[in-house]
Structure 1
Amino acid sequence: MKEHKGLRIGHYAIAILFTVVSLYPIFLMLLSSFKTNIEIFKNPMAFPKLWTFDAYRKLLDQLPYFDYFWNSVFVSVTSVALILISGALVSFYIARFNFKWNPALFFFFLLGMMIPVKLGIVPLFILMKTLGLMNTSFSLIFVYTAIGIPMSVLILVGFFRTLPKELEESGKIDGCSDLGILVKIIAPLMRPALGTVMIMNFITVWNDFFFPLIFIQDEVKKTIPVGMLTLFSEYSTDWSVLFAGLTLSSLPMIILFAVASKQFMEGMTAGAVK
């Protein structure tokens, strides 16, 4: 019993250590957003001598930050919604319908995870320019949706195959169509998998710097990662303003993970125990 108790204490100690290591950079970022530049350089680890919101005021004065924020929200939410809808439909077909090309179709989607998308940036640039989508949010949405679907198909197909087919048979007896079975019966049971796909893709889209830098030129259409780049000057950087912007930009991800963390953990551990 004592050994078991000691082992549990050791597990808790390790978990607390990892928690502190993970949260400390976020805590330091938050503290730095309330400091002046001089304080950040003199005492980077200390609490602010005077708590001030000057960095946040400067951020909103120097940048169209709310434009960046809503652009990021629109691109991220729309991309994730399209990934969830497309991934669920494709995965349901692959997992539940017997067709000789299903393995090849599944492998085709998995190829999207094997090929680095950034290697095709020149053809993508030409394609977006030909379609007239350059300098629009839809160029980002289409690219992020295409990038996110392979991973979502991999996760969702595995989850679909763990569900008993009797659920669908009972739905058909009640007169449900295949789409009705997916929406009314299967989707509610897939919340852990859908939560996992949602969080992983939202974080990827929200933090991406590369594609907005290539496809977006207008200042008011930029997303947060690219818009924040203007805070870096050639000779100096106002770090307090930068930390204020990073603090605000991290809030949606923290809120999303807090709301959907239960589904995310269930989705990551499902199938580990029979």
Structure 2
Amino acid sequence: MSADATVAASSRRSRFGGTLTRKIITVIMTVYAVIAVSPLAIMIVNSFRSSSDMFVNPLGFFSNPTVEGYVKAWTDASFSTYFFNSLFVTVCSVVLSTGVSLFAAYALARWTFFGRSALQSLFISGLMIPVMLAVLPLFYLIDGFGLLDSHLALILIYAANGVPFSIFILAAFFRQLPEELEEAARIDGAGPVRTFFSVMMPLVKPAIATVVIFRFVPIWNDFLFPLVMLRSTEKYTIPVGLTSFFGEFSTDWSPLFAGLVIATIPLVLLFIVATKQIVTGLTAGIGK
């Protein structure tokens, strides 16, 4: 066999192997996607079924779709109150945490001052301490300030918990920006504040979107702190409010699934709106 024929045969085997590998990966990812989406599909389908229909055939498809579960969850079970409580607490926490972290990350990444390394290490150490270990001290602290059974307590806890992660992500992006941008802004007469808001912050939008998503989801889904810090039913957030559908001897499944769908909608919309920024933020620097 000639050298050209050997090279051609090797090239064909390589193409065949690459094609086979791609097909195997496609099959695996398809199976994984089906498994991952199945619980969501079951939840949506069951939200349009009656509880009696689910008792007869738990995994069946709805024959007579009804929105009774949504009506009961939104009005009778006060789910509208839980929804807006969660929205208020989550948005305020994310805005406060991201706003504080933006200024701190910019200072740590772009300025040189005494104690910068120690301060940065202090913030990063916050990533190593599970916040669940601080539930009892936080409870006594919040009680001492007289903030128990208030949304402000949750907002402060969530915002403080999100600062280390947010600074870690945002500082990494600020360090990638060239110093010539700040020099050009100074030459044009812009001060530090104008430079930050008009020049630097727009360039880290992907990082901001990434931080917002990664902080919004755990706060929206958190069950522990609202359960510990809140006492009044009208102040409950969605995860705690969902427990109202669970009784000692029975569970009202149709409103429960409807409530879960309502709770999922803001997360899905947030991911759809911010998908481009999230991908840009997660892949920044790969091509450099």
Q: Using the alignment, how far apart are the partners of 2:56 and 2:268 within structure 1?
A: 29
The reply on whether 1:63 has 2:77 as its aligned counterpart is: yes
1:189 corresponds to: 203
Deviation at 1:6, TM superposition (A): 4.5
Q: How do residues 77-156 of structure 1 correspond to structure 2 at under 5 angstroms? A: 77-156=91-170
Whichever of the two has the greater Rg, that structure is 2
Deviations 1:171-203 (A, max 9, x none): 111122222212111111111111110001000
The reply on whether 1:24 has 2:24 as its aligned counterpart is: no
| Unpaired stretches in structure 1, ≥5 consecutive residues | none
Q: How do residues 259-274 of structure 1 correspond to structure 2 at under 5 angstroms? A: 259-274=273-288
Deviates more, 1:18-27 or 1:210-219: 18-27
Deviation at 1:206, TM superposition (A): 0.3
How high is the TM-score relative to the length of structure 2? 0.90
Amino acid at match of 2:50: T
Q: Using the alignment, how far apart are the partners of 2:214 and 2:94 within structure 1?
A: 9
Amino acid at match of 2:36: S
How high is the TM-score relative to the length of structure 1? 0.94
Aligned counterpart for 1:202 among listed residues 202, 213, 216: 216
Q: Using the alignment, how far apart are the partners of 2:215 and 2:64 within structure 1?
A: 39
Deviation at 1:264, TM superposition (A): 1.0
Percent of aligned positions with the same letter in both sequences?
Answer: 39
Amino acid at match of 1:23: V
Aligned counterpart for 2:242 among listed residues 222, 228, 248: 228
| Unpaired stretches in structure 2, ≥5 consecutive residues | 1-14
Please state whether the residue corresponding to 2:173 is helix, strand or coil: helix
Q: Using the alignment, how far apart are the partners of 1:164 and 1:13 within structure 2?
A: 43
How many residues align? The count is 274
Aligned counterpart for 2:188 among listed residues 170, 174, 178: 174
Q: Using the alignment, how far apart are the partners of 1:39 and 1:267 within structure 2?
A: 45
Q: Using the alignment, how far apart are the partners of 1:181 and 1:13 within structure 2?
A: 50
Deviation at 1:209, TM superposition (A): 0.5
Amino acid at match of 1:125: F
Deviation at 1:22, TM superposition (A): 2.0
Q: Using the alignment, how far apart are the partners of 1:260 and 1:80 within structure 2?
A: 15
Deviation at 1:114, TM superposition (A): 1.1
